[in-house]
Amino acid sequence: MSSPSIYDVSKQANVSIATISRVVNGKGKVGEKTRARVLKTIEEMGYTPNALARGLSTNNSIKTVGLLSTDSTDLYHSRAIFFLERELRKSGYDSILCCTGYDPVYHESRLKLLLSKQVDAVVLISSYYLHEDDNAYIRNASKKVPVMMMNAAVETEGVYSFICDDRQATCSLTTRFIEQGRKRLVHIHHSDTFSSRQKLAGICDALDAHGLDRESLILLQCENDIHAAMRAIEKLVKDGEFFNGVICPGDGTAVGALKGLARQRIRVPEEVAVTGYNNSIIARSSSPEITSVDNVVEDICVAVVDGLMRLFGGEEIPRTNVFEARLVQRESAILTKN
């Protein structure tokens, strides 16, 4: 039989995890009756406070956070890793990085590997970690340490989500296309993740709001690769499909779209406007430079680490944290708001 966790004690004593931490640390205001009930529950259950419950404030604490990334070569992931490690160092924490790839079979095993290293918390950087069929592996991990999810959410105790509002971002972006008279749009997509579904939903929201048939949207599926996007757009032009805007899920895909249009002598943005996503260095390095949605990855990473430090200190934080994206306009699409 496994030893009880802080969550078990919290449920049994009918108090928050933060209250358990304050009692164990001897810090913060806790009523005498509540304190007595918590201490009695700890004794009855044979609970041994771990690093989380102690607030991670002792010199003996390992002070390490595990980071799980599907692909560290991806620009979003590499930036997230950089910002997370930077903020953790500022707070006196080290990090352990595991790259899982996209195959779900490795997600659980790598998460268990991080937990075996006695990390104090885990950050899941990708929405790929949210599986449609079963997320028990995340729930099980959250019984041991806090789990912070970026761009995904699992409704369970001990899991905290930090999400850019992709749906609102693409809705606002699509609205700008439509108000400029660009109503025949292409949306390139290459995955079926929480984030991808939110982006598509936002586009459809804007079409619905303007009375446009969703069938007018051209869904173009291809691999997450510049050349794959280039070939897909080029084929669309060769097939005689008319469109005057391309909404891409990432800046790399947008570069591919630009290449495909250039090879077919389509002028950007005069004939076709192109937008990317992530506002990465690629958007600024391309020619023309790419209008891109900034999904505020730095802000989110700062909030993730700040949330962890507050949890470690015995505070409570919101389970869901939503951030507003920003549109950065450049040469590939001048979408001035009316």
Separation CA 251–CA 266 (nearest Å): 19
- What is the reported pLDDT for 57? 42
Separation CA 22–CA 336 (nearest Å): 51
Work out whether strand 159-164 and strand 320-323 pair parallel, antiparallel, or are unpaired.
parallel
337 located within any domain:
no
303 located within any domain:
yes
User: Could you tell me the pTM of the whole model?
Assistant: 0.82
Q: Give the structural domain span for 100.
A: 64-164+297-325
**Per-residue pLDDT at 15 exceeds 90:** no
**Per-residue pLDDT at 313 exceeds 80:** yes
Kindly state whether residues 290 and 308 are assigned to the same domain. no
- What is the reported pLDDT for 315? 86
Per-residue pLDDT reduced to its tens digit, 35-49: 888 888 888 887 766
- What is the reported pLDDT for 314? 82
Kindly state whether residues 90 and 211 are assigned to the same domain. no
Q: Mention every residue, 6+ apart, whose C-beta is less than 8 A from residue 213.
A: 207
Nearest to 66 by CA among 109, 119, 140, 107: 119
Q: How many domains does the chain have?
A: 3
Kindly state whether residues 16 and 101 are assigned to the same domain. no
Give the DSSP H/E element, type plus range, for residue 114.
helix 104-116
Per-residue pLDDT reduced to its tens digit, 179-232: 999 999 999 998 888 899 999 999 999 999 999 999 999 999 999 899 999 999
Q: What is the CATH number of the domain that holds 171?
A: 3.40.50.2300
> Mean pLDDT over residues 283-310, rounded?
96
